[in-house]
Chains A and B, each alone.
Chain A
Amino acid sequence: MPMKRDYSLVGPENAAAVSKGLANAQWYRCAVPRKQMKELMQRSDAAAIRDTILWVLLFILFAAGATYFWGTWICVPFFIGYGVLYGSSSDSRWHECGHGTAFKTRWLNDLVYKVACFMIMRDPEVWRWSHTRHHTDTIIVGRDPEIAVQRPPSLWKVALYFFGWPTAYVALKKLVIHSAGRLLPDEATWVPESEWPKVYRDARIFLAIHIAAVVAAIAFHSWLPVMFVGPLPLMYGAWLGVYFGLTQHIGLAEDVLDHRLCARTVYMNPIFRFLYLNMNYHVEHHMFPMVPYHALPKLHQAIKADTPTPCASTIEAYFGEILPALWRQRNDPGYTIRRPLPSSATPYAATSGPAVAVPAE
């Protein structure tokens, strides 16, 4: 049986990461002139307002079609579209607005962030802080609470993610715990105590909306309210978001201080990039998280000579790297993909900080 590492944030791996200098460490960053970086970081409401209006219109279109054709097979494609918006595209809205980079106007970020959090069933405050840690200690075992697939991987568990399971179940359980005025022990390590009341407040509001949807379904003798709001649309719509999300880090190095080794950039078509808000430029996003999604293609051009060649498509990412790595890591958890760098790039070895780990070959 392959050795399983302890991915808990309150276990021995946490202390080990701290003692190795992997926690809150200095990471490698590609050189970008200050003037150019300032331009790339500039905020704009225009792109996000345009994309959000389109997003809302698509929600209305698919919900209207699903309702109109309810009871016939024709409603199925409308529910597929609605589900992808609800359970998949909300993930990238949650993400980008959580960074505060989608809109220039702060309250618009906060509004879309909360709405997306409700749809993806994430507590806004817990996940804000969880993601902060993910960026500080990206794929550092014992430090990063957002390592999607632990080694050795359970392929069943990975498959279940595509059906929003156990995501929805765990989220509901946490919603109840937070509503009762409690945090889980690991959450308490990354959420400051001053923010705990906000966690409880948001959980109670979200739980009340979920209960209202169930009550409406009972009162109207219709499944429609729970098909549109709550765990069901998350479960039947999560698949595409999971398909996107697993490209980010799977199979790449743990415990290194170079995003080029632990994150993956994948080229995607414009529809995918609209749904995913350009998070396919994932090396770029991790290296410079304050660059808004609409500027990531430009950032990619600026640093691509110093980053691994991106996967040409999601198909190439899955069949060339992710699936073979998952299969091999079942018995060889130390197996790690080391993506080749162009000759113009700073070699990986030269990016080592004082305590950088050497990725497994």
Chain B
Amino acid sequence: MADNWVDACAADAVDEEDVMGFSHGGQNYAIYRSPEDKFYATDGLCTHEQVELADGLVMGDIIECPMHNGRFNYKTGEAKGAPVCVNLKTYPTKVESGRVLINLG
């Protein structure tokens, strides 16, 4: 994957075990802060019906879509069963100078 690190948000803008949305180049992304205080990033829309995951609920390793209970492991992108059948794309992240960066490749 090519390096294309993009500044997404301030690290302290995302609560632990929570998610926030981020848009870049017309695409939506979701930035997660895990209970272990690590950052992860995925595509921002649920693969089921394109609902914003940033409005969803983070429970441990899981992001739950706010509309239909679709669940993904946000660390791996794995869809965890109906109604989501297609995995979520994930992106590498790093934190520098208090900012979360994601590699869009």
A interface residues (Cβ-Cβ under 8 A, vs B): 24, 37-38, 41-43, 99-101, 125, 128-129, 132, 135-136, 192, 194-195, 288-290
Q: Does B23 contact A (CB under 8 A)?
A: no
Give 30 CB contacts A-B under 8 Å: A24-B49, A24-B50, A37-B55, A38-B18, A41-B57, A42-B57, A43-B59, A99-B69, A100-B64, A100-B69, A100-B71, A101-B69, A125-B82, A128-B82, A128-B83, A129-B82, A132-B48, A132-B49, A132-B68, A132-B83, A135-B67, A192-B82, A288-B66, A289-B66, A289-B68, A290-B57, A290-B64, A290-B65, A290-B67, A290-B69
Q: CA–CA, A99 to B85, complex, Å?
A: 16
- Contact size range, B: 10 to 19
The binding surface of chain B is classed by DSSP as loop
Is the pair B68, A135 in contact by a Cβ cutoff of 8 Å? yes
B56: interface (CB < 8 Å): yes
Sample of 15 more A-B contacts, CB < 8 Å, known A128-B82, A290-B64 = A24-B49, A24-B50, A38-B18, A38-B57, A41-B57, A41-B66, A43-B59, A100-B64, A100-B71, A128-B83, A132-B49, A289-B66, A289-B67, A289-B68, A290-B69
A-B contact count (CB 8 A): 44
Complex: A192 Cα to B79 Cα, angstroms: 15
Bound Cα distance A41, B56 (Å)? 9
From known contacts A135-B68, A136-B49, infer whether A290 and B56 are also in contact, taking CB-CB under 8 Å: yes
Q: A99 contacts which chain B residues (CB < 8 A)? A: 69
Residues of A close to B56: CB separation below 8 A: 290
- Within the complex, what minimum Cβ distance (angstroms) separates B18 from chain A? 7
| Known contacts A24-B50, A38-B18, A136 near B67 by CB under 8 Å | yes
Give the Cβ gap from A289 to chain B, nearest Cβ, in Å: 6
Inter-chain CA distance A152–B73, complex, in Å, is 46
The 6 closest A-B pairs by CB, nearest first: A100-B69, A41-B57, A132-B68, A290-B66, A132-B83, A99-B69
Q: Which secondary structure characterizes the binding site on chain A?
A: helix
* Chain B nearest CB, measured from A277 CB (Å): 16
